[in-house]
Amino acid sequence: MSGRPRTLAVVAALLRKEARVELRTFESIPAMTLFSVSTYVLFHFGLQEDTLEGNLASGVLWVTLLFAAVLGINRLFVADDEQGGFDAFLLSPADRSALLFGKAAALLAYLVVVEIVTVPAFALLLLGVGIGQTMPGLLAVLVLADIGVAVIGTLVGALAVRTRARDLLGPLLSLPLLVPIVIAAAKASTPLLASPVAALPARWLVTLALYDLVFAVIAYALFDYLLED
Amino acid sequence: MYGRRLRGLALTTAALLTLTLVLVFFWAPNDATLGFLQKIFYVHVPLAIVTLCGFIAGGLMAIQHLRTRDARWDVRSYVAIHISLVFGIGVLVTGSIWAKGAWGHWWVWDEPTLVSFLLIMLLYATYQPLRFAIEDPERQSRYASVFAITAGAFVPMNFIAVRLSTAYLHPRVLGSTSNLPGPMALTFLVSLLALALLFATLCKYELTAKHTRAQLRALRRRLDGETAPAPARTRSAAPSLQPVARMSARAGGGPA
Amino acid sequence: MLATAIGEIPALPLHTAGKYVAGAYVVLFALVLIYVAIMALRLSRIERELGELLSVSEHPGGATGELGPDAHARGDAAGGPDAQRESTLA
């Protein structure tokens, strides 16, 4: 056999493992989905509104998504930490960044699956305008925001999982880092969810993309230091 | 030795701070539109600039720590972030006072600097709990450095993001120094320098105190006998310095 | 120049704005003073520990044995604000 496996192959293997674990244990996705839907109901009662538009709709959508993501971030590395997954990975000849890419891709996949269910649920429960008019702009915003959440979530998850207060530190660390994503995503989707639908401001898409890029580079540079032990 | 230049630094800082106060209250003219309230500007904005630079410096020192694995860089990073946190509280409080004076509310979302600061402080407030949650000192330093670098990169991006989100609604009232008249600009610069030196003095002060305590512990261990085991360190969020014994410059016999 | 500037004053009357400005500068002053106080506490603790070490070094042997464990305990507990932080964070 040749020497080191190619990174892409390792990432693919990691993704397959994550999918297999998730399908067997159903740890993350059902919880994130149910949590989102419950939160929409909560917002209905909290805001005392039947339908939402514009900035209110945007806010409810993104805040709920963020908190669901935090649930996912909390669970992302727990199995690896408790059952020796970290050690197993370190012993393998794979490039360590592959763990970062693999886990980030897994978190991204979780978010996408959750959104496939919860965004229509949001449209059904709370949205005052037709969901059709918001696509494909909303899709673009969702994808870019999800990438940012996945990258930051993986970095923070790895950082928090091996501390004593991992359930507390995960959200505490990730929420401030995710705020600019919320700022940009909310600003971007507000005109899309408004009553006379307005155009998607490209400026915020660019901001999201830049933020994602910067943190992807930072995560790539720093991830190795979290793994050595 | 950490305390070597502390005296000169402290004296310079004291002189510059005094000069700043004199300039602010006796020389700088009153702003035409904002009046006497504008004087807060001379403490709030330099404090903010120094705090942000302190956080970024903490990140840079953390990079050095990860590169060189020298624990001293981690201690410097810790101290820089620690003191920046204290200064940051000062920024939020003085900014709040200014907001109350200018707009009648203790908090306003219109001022992007204040909002950015709130976010940054929320992030850095987790620095100590993070350190405290990791018991192994080497891992604590390493994880803290990763955090400091991430947060340091977050600082400028956060500013840009928040500024973008409010730029088209409200003009920035705390204007830049480029359109300040001469005497005001000079006072501002002196204040900035004074507060930057205050930051440096407090950092050095803190490092010297830490080092002194480390020397004390080492001396105690030595006096208690070489065979005495090192006392178990209780859980601490603060990194510790390795004591450095200084060779006495004075002539004369005796052990070095 | 100053007189004309003062003559054109503004937005807030001096006696109102004065309080806010004073408040801001007092905050800065208070922060520095609190720091001085914390450092003073640490210094007094260091002085006390050095005094103990000095007495230990003058009576080595038996006295060391007695003082040893106690000194250890006190040395750990008297960690100053770090120890206080530990206890509040714990």
The sign one gets for the Cα dihedral A31, A37, A42, A47 is positive
Lowest mean pLDDT among A199-203, B43-47, C32-36: A199-203
Q: Which of A164, A184, A211 sits opposite B133 (nearest CB)?
A: A164
Q: How many helices (H) and strands (E) does chain A have?
A: 9, 0
C-alpha distances in angstroms, A41 versus A60, A62, A116?
A: 11, 15, 18
Residue B64 burial (CB count, 10 A): 16
Query: A-chain residues within 8 Å CB-CB of B130?
Result: 159-160, 163, 169, 173
pLDDT tens sequence across A130-187: 777 777 888 889 999 999 999 999 999 999 988 888 888 889 999 999 999 998 999 8
Task: Say which residues have a Cβ less than 8 Å from residue B11's Cβ, sequence separation at least 6.
Answer: none
**pLDDT confidence of residue B228:** 57
| Closest CA relative to residue A192, chosen from A180, A179, A205 | A205
Contact of B131 with C89, CB cutoff 8 Å: no
Tokens of B237: 């969020």
Query: B-chain residues within 8 Å CB-CB of C27?
Result: 90, 93-94, 97
- Cβ B133–A183 below 8 Å, yes or no? no
Interface test with B, best of C6, C8, C25 (most B CBs within 10 A): C25
Bond into A176 cis (ω within 30): no
Strand partners, A52: A127
- Cβ B66–A207 below 8 Å, yes or no? no
- Tell me the average pLDDT of chain C: 67
Interface test with A, best of B74, B109, B143 (most A CBs within 10 A): B143
Lowest mean pLDDT among A29-38, A153-162, C3-12: C3-12
Question: DSSP assignment, residue C89?
Answer: H
**pLDDT confidence of residue B25:** 84
**pLDDT confidence of residue C80:** 38
Contact of A208 with A181, CB cutoff 8 Å: yes
Contact of A152 with A177, CB cutoff 8 Å: yes
- d(C-alpha A18, C-alpha A150), whole Å: 14
Judged against a pLDDT cut of 90, whether residue A88 lies above it is answered with: no
In Å, how far from its chain's centre is CA A159? 16
- Cβ A176–B122 below 8 Å, yes or no? yes
Contact of A69 with A153, CB cutoff 8 Å: yes
In Å, how far from its chain's centre is CA B83? 4
- Tell me the average pLDDT of chain A: 87
Query: A-chain residues within 8 Å CB-CB of B162?
Result: 180, 183
**pLDDT confidence of residue C87:** 39
Strand partners, B35: B31
Angle between helices A54-76 and A29-47 (to 10 degrees): 150
**pLDDT confidence of residue C58:** 80
Instruction: Kindly give the parts of chain B with pLDDT less than 50.
Output: 169-171, 173, 176-178, 250-256
Q: How confident is the model at residue A126 (pLDDT cuts 50, 70, 90)?
A: confident
- Cβ A218–B149 below 8 Å, yes or no? yes
Judged against a pLDDT cut of 50, whether residue A110 lies above it is answered with: yes
Query: C-chain residues within 8 Å CB-CB of B102?
Result: 11
By the CB < 8 Å criterion, does B173 face chain C? no
By the CB < 8 Å criterion, does B14 face chain C? no
- d(C-alpha B151, C-alpha A195), whole Å: 38
Q: Which residues of A fall below an 8 Å CB-CB distance to B?
A: 155, 159-160, 162-166, 168-169, 172-173, 175-177, 179-180, 183-184, 187, 203, 207, 211, 214-215, 218, 222, 225-226, 228-229
Contact of B24 with B187, CB cutoff 8 Å: yes
Judged against a pLDDT cut of 60, whether residue A80 lies above it is answered with: yes
**pLDDT confidence of residue B234:** 66
In Å, how far from its chain's centre is CA A130? 25
Contact of A184 with A207, CB cutoff 8 Å: yes
Phi and psi, residue A23, nearest 5°: -70, -30
Q: Which of C42, C57, C85 sits opposite B209 (nearest CB)?
A: C42
Question: DSSP assignment, residue B31?
Answer: B
**pLDDT confidence of residue B145:** 94
- d(C-alpha A4, C-alpha A9), whole Å: 10
- Cβ A180–B158 below 8 Å, yes or no? yes
- Cβ B228–C68 below 8 Å, yes or no? yes
Helix then strand then coil, % of chain B, to nearest 5: 70, 0, 30
- d(C-alpha C14, C-alpha C10), whole Å: 9
**pLDDT confidence of residue B144:** 94
Question: DSSP assignment, residue A3?
Answer: S
Q: How confident is the model at residue C88 (pLDDT cuts 50, 70, 90)?
A: very low
Judged against a pLDDT cut of 90, whether residue C77 lies above it is answered with: no
Higher pLDDT: B75 or C75? It is: B75
By the CB < 8 Å criterion, does C72 face chain B? yes
ipTM of the complex: 0.85
**pLDDT confidence of residue A134:** 75
Query: B-chain residues within 8 Å CB-CB of C71?
Result: 220, 224
Are A and C neighbours with ≥3 CB pairs closer than 8 A?
no
